[in-house]
A = this chain, B = another copy of it.
Amino acid sequence: MEPDAALKIIARGTEEIITPADLKSKLASGRKLRVKLGVDPTRPDLHLGHAVVLRKMRQFQELGHKVILLIGDFTGMIGDPSGRSKTRPPLTLEETRANAQSYVEQARKILRQEPDVFELRYNSEWLEKLSFKDVIRIAAQMTVAQMLEREDFKKRYSGGVPIGIHEFLYPLAQGYDSVALEADVEMGGTDQKFNLLVGRDLQKYFGQEPQVLVLMPLLVGLDGVEKMSKSLDNYVGVSEEPAVMFKKLMRVPDAVLADFRLLTDLEPAEVEELVAAGGMVGAHRVLARLLTAAYALEVIPAWLNREFYESLGYRLAEAGRDRQPQAPQNPELAGLVAQAEARYDEVAKGGIPDDVPTVTIDPAELKDGKIWVARLFTLAGLTKSNGEARRLIKNRGLRIDGEVVSSADLEVELDRPLVLQRGKDRFVRVVLGG
């Protein structure tokens, strides 16, 4: 492929490339480039936020280059020796290996893992061997003022929040990783720009050609405000059930829906047409179908474009108004998506879907054949406590067989299976046990 064409593919959806000229020259070299991504050694649950960067890595693979997942086990195994952060206990070697393995397993959906395009490395391999003398030489390449330019350090320093001297060594260690790996490209979110730039400087010091930075925007979560993350519960996991993924994607706030285009290879013009034709709801449907299908596969396709969408039996020009797939290339996959969409529609209009999980209630819980409504919802797993159930009932948030529970004092007769419902879309069928 011509370097210009490759550059165009890589550049799509990026926030910043440092520098495009350097990237073009590396692409033009004809070499297999080494594309690094640093990975935290704590156990991850991969979500679509991670997928933004991982898909770009996949595109490098498709262009013939090699991606390197670098597990930062070295610092993970040290923990926080200042003792300030009790929440960062050191990890054992076994833990870092297990966490890395879990990351790789989950990433299998997005990254190809054949040895010619994939490498898994641990930075303890070289960081453990560094001597104090080496550390001094590396540390001399940056100044305190430069380090305090990093946004989080700047805030903490001016806010009087302690910064351990060892924290200044971490960006340097990360930068040295690029030297050890002889990285040509390092990928990351825009929040990693500072750290990735350190890698460039250290490579120059060690006589290497500096790596190119490919910075991806940070995907906002379902709350439309914060960066997508598991801890904020505003995420869409890469291994969600199709129905859950479809539903979550339909809930993406309109204001940030355009950002989710990053997860596809639709052209901006195509998205504009789509919104013009189908409105926000239509755009949501197309996105939900496309991504639900892609992530239902064991390995998602390299290019999530119009062609892939239309292979499901829909037409992009219909902008989501075509509810039934027509002559899909992969009927099974199209069926999964159609089913998830149908379930979503059913719930959206207040119906009870077919695939509701069943919970069996122990007859010993009943008194005179009845059970307190709060206790019932908690046993069913829909509320965490009777107290939570009470509060939800007060807010008319719980239903039985579609009817709002109006009193928290209700005693429920359990003489037949009932469908309990929390909010719009959480359902459990309860039946009395043997």
Contacts and interface: CB of A to CB of B under 8 A. Distances in A.
Contact of A164 (B81, B140, B169): B140
Given A127-B132, A130-B132, A168-B168, A163 B143 contact: yes
A80 B135 contact: no
A139 B164 contact: yes
B160 A145 contact: yes
B157 A139 contact: no
A324 interface: no
A173 B132 CA distance: 9
B144 A144 contact: yes
A362 interface: no
B130 A131 contact: yes
A147 interface: yes
Contacts of A144: 144, 148, 153, 157, 162-165, 167-168
Contacts of A132: 74, 127-128, 130-132, 134-135, 169, 173
Contacts of A12: none
Contact of A145 (B134, B136, B162, B169): B162
Contacts of A167: 144
A130 B133 CA distance: 9
Contacts of A128: 131-133
Interface string A139-161: 11111110110000100010010
Interface in A94-142: 127-128, 130-137, 139-142
Contacts of A74: 132-133
B173 A140 contact: no
Nearest to A163: B144
Contacts of A143: 162-165
Nearest to A156: B144
Contacts of A416: none
Contact of A165 (B81, B140, B157, B163): B140
A172 interface: yes
Interface in A73-93: 74-75, 78, 80-83
Nearest to A83: B140
A166 interface: yes
Nearest to A75: B136
Contacts of A127: 132
A4 B116 CA distance: 76
Contact of A139 (B130, B148, B166): B166
A138 to B, nearest CB: 8
Contact of A81 (B75, B83, B137, B169): B137
Contacts of A137: 78, 81, 166
A157 B149 CA distance: 13
A139 B169 contact: yes
A136 B168 contact: no
B168 A140 contact: no
Given A130-B132, A135-B132, A165-B147, A140 B82 contact: yes
Contacts of A131: 128, 130-132
A279 B49 CA distance: 84
Most B CB contacts (10 A, CB to CB) among A82, A132, A133 go to A132
A172 B165 CA distance: 10
A373 to B, nearest CB: 53
Contacts of A145: 157, 160, 162-163
B81 A166 contact: no
Contact of A78 (B136, B163, B172): B136
Interface of A: 74-75, 78, 80-83, 127-128, 130-137, 139-145, 147-148, 153, 157, 160, 162-169, 172-173
The 10 closest A-B pairs by CB, nearest first: A82-B140, A81-B140, A139-B166, A139-B165, A130-B132, A140-B166, A143-B162, A144-B163, A81-B137, A136-B166
Given A82-B140, A128-B131, 6 more contacts: A130-B132, A132-B132, A132-B135, A135-B169, A136-B169, A142-B165
